[in-house]
Amino acid sequence: MCGLSGFLAAAPLHERGKQQALVRRMTDTISHRGPDDAGYWCDVERGVALGHRRLSILDLSPAGHQPMHSPSGRYVMVFNGEIYNHLQMRRQLESGARAPDWRGRSDTETLLAGFDAWGIQETVERAVGMFAFAVWDRHAGVLTLGRDRIGEKPLYYGWQGRGANAAFLFGSELKALRAHPAFEGRIDRDALCLQLRYSYIPAPYSIYRGIAKLAPGSLLTVSAQAREPRLTTYWSGARQAVAGAAAPFAGSAAQAVDTLEGLLRQAVQDQMIADVPLGAFLSGGVDSSTVVALMQAQSARPVKTFSIGFHEEGYNEAEYAKAVAAHLGTEHTELYVQAEGARALIPRLQSVYDEPFSDSSQLPTILVSQLARQHVTVSLSGDAGDELFCGYNRYQFAARLWKTVDAAPLPLRRLAARGIARVPVETWNRLARRTARFLPQSLRFANTGDKLHKGAQVLSNATLDQLYLGLVSHWEDPAALVIGAREAPTLLRGDTPALPGLDGIQRMMALDLLTYLPDDILVKVDRAAMSVSLETRIPFLDHRVVEFAWQLPQSLKLRDGVSKWALRQVLYKYVPPALIERPKMGFGVPIGNWLRGPLREWAQDLLDESRLRSEGYFDPIQLRQKWHEHLSGQRNWQYHLWDVLMFQSWLEQQSTGAPGQREPAALASCYPS
């Protein structure tokens, strides 16, 4: 696991020393991604520079140093990630008499030999792994960026600056791009709307205008002559979902479970290869327990496992993880964190995530990464089981709700919705309090007005896609809050793929595979772990597992109301059901209570009305109303407020001079005036 950065200048730079100093400056901002080694390569005449920070996992020798040249000398590459089948790829090269004299054992060397023999796209299609890379073709003068199939590893890019000062910038994190003097740093208000809706900014957008995220499963080519980036999709999650559903696994349920177990065992075995200490995150749920069980079954020594515990009721999974670890015989480490310990991380969040990101489970993810890094350099994770095997409760809830709602004519539903919405939330709440004593306990609800207003939104939906968008949205109309903004289209709103042949639940799963998984879950894990120089690996995201999961009939994922049925059958070969079966628990923290208590002063400062007016991003009246309603306990706006607070905190960091925001004069002179 590493970090990369670089640039392609519109006009050649004049001095090699300054060019190298510039790429070094960019690369040093992401030293946490690779503390073991650093390397830089420049071509002054063509204005291209590559930088690399290395976290040594395989082949710890100098033979793994980057930037690295291909055997022919044609390609120069910086690479972030792991290719789990690279030894198999070497054998393929050798069997075709196309292998070089190997200098070391790194997967980067294997990829470069593949580029010489097969070309870039064919090599990437043969690779099994997680990665992001930048490769310069010295013959053609073309830069190629690539990203893995699902989006485990990040890669940002974009042209910045004007005329002779323009440059195509790229890097693993935004802070690397900010360190370049051409970087403009114009905030994209339309992208800010997306962060308020989803708690993350989905690809291809970033918080900055002109800077994009490379989409998963994509290659990009650009040159000084052909400045418009050309995108190619070499693997598509949407296509795989449709193809899998159209040609489902034809064997018995038992055969399906055995096949799934075999694929997962292989994926886990491949991802346990490392020349450094290795372990796993363990929550005690189905997904992480399956990964750990398959690790321990293939290990001669106890696997090192890690979990974080909280004393707050409803937020603690550590006791379940401990029981699973004891049954499997792992070397388990747990850390119970006081609320103060989690809250102390909040000032660090913006340097870790680099753009506004407001999934509050970011806090425990950083904590468990810090814990694991004290013992290992690589940690396997159980992420992606929910998206692949129908694990989220919202899938079943949305499907049942839509079946009920869709039975009534849409005009009638919308009329009822308008009637409900006209009555203020507090009026509904007062009415509920007055009538509560006449109702059975099962019909007494807290925050009745909130629930009725949300129900009114559901009644207004014309399709299941619209209903699901409402379920995964925080701010219903973020463009009404962000001044001068127009919400950009996404795969969930405006650019939704057709996904023919998928039923309602399958559509929700596919949309999560394309959006929530890469843009929230994988971002959260990558930035948290790499902030402490910890490599994470996700066996469920071996693309062969992903493709087979989509071939599994839905009846083997959701059976008699039980989610992840086939995956549970694999797990129960190793762990008794009694240790696993319990209501699903999120990996979060009690943000709502904290905002009314110990975080109140911090939030109050960021939401100060005069400050909001001065900054000019949010409508202060609408925002202050939600803040007061939350403080009073009238409404629970924890997620809406956390979205805004994460942007406000990020904005504050930028204005106080985040790394790369101020440009030393010596580096500014790299470019002609």
Quick check: bond before 204 cis, omega within 30? yes
* Residue 657 CA: distances (Å) to CA of 179, 208, 209, 354, 626: 11, 16, 19, 13, 30
In a domain, 532, yes or no: no
Instruction: Return the structure tokens found at 246.
Output: 């159209």
**Catalytic site residues?**
2
What is the pLDDT at residue 659?
Answer: 38
Q: Are residues 347 and 361 in the same domain?
A: yes
Exposure of 239 by Cβ count < 10 A (0-12 exposed, 13-18 middle, 19+ buried)?
A: middle
270 and 366: one domain? yes
In a domain, 520, yes or no: no
Per-residue pLDDT tens over the stretch 589-642? 889 999 999 999 999 999 999 999 999 999 999 999 999 999 998 888 999 999
Residue 525 lies in a domain: no
Whether residues 218 and 270 fall in one domain: no
pLDDT for 658 equals 45
172 and 57 inside one domain: yes
Number of domains forming the structure of the chain: 4
Enclosing domain of residue 609: 591-655
Query: For each successive 10 residues of the chain (673 residues), what is the average pLDDT?
Result: 91 74 95 93 93 82 90 97 96 94 94 98 98 97 98 98 92 97 96 98 98 98 94 98 97 98 98 91 96 97 93 74 96 89 88 96 94 96 97 91 88 83 78 76 61 74 91 94 97 94 96 98 97 97 98 96 96 96 71 92 96 97 96 91 97 69 32 29
Q: Is residue 597 part of a domain?
A: yes
Query: Are residues 320 and 274 part of one domain?
Result: yes
Residue 91 lies in a domain: yes
pTM of the model: 0.92
Note whether 305 and 215 are same-domain residues.
Answer: no
pLDDT at 673: 25
Whole-Å CA distances, 78 to 6, 534, 550:
9, 19, 33
Domain of residue 296, CATH code: 3.40.50.620
Question: Does one domain contain both 412 and 302?
Answer: no
What's residue 314's pLDDT?
62
631 and 545, same domain (yes or no): no
State the CB neighbour count (10 A cutoff) for residue 614: 9
Q: How many residues does the chain have?
A: 673
- Residue 670 is predicted with a pLDDT of 35
In a domain, 280, yes or no: yes
Q: Is residue 389 part of a domain?
A: no
Residue 315 belongs to some domain of the structure: yes
Instruction: State whether 165 and 96 are in the same domain.
Output: yes
**pLDDT tens by residue, 279-294:** 999 999 999 999 999 9
Spatial neighbors of 572 by CB under 8 A, at least 6 apart, are 580
Residue 326: predicted pLDDT = 97
In whole angstroms, what is the distance from residue 139 CA to residue 78 CA? Answer: 17
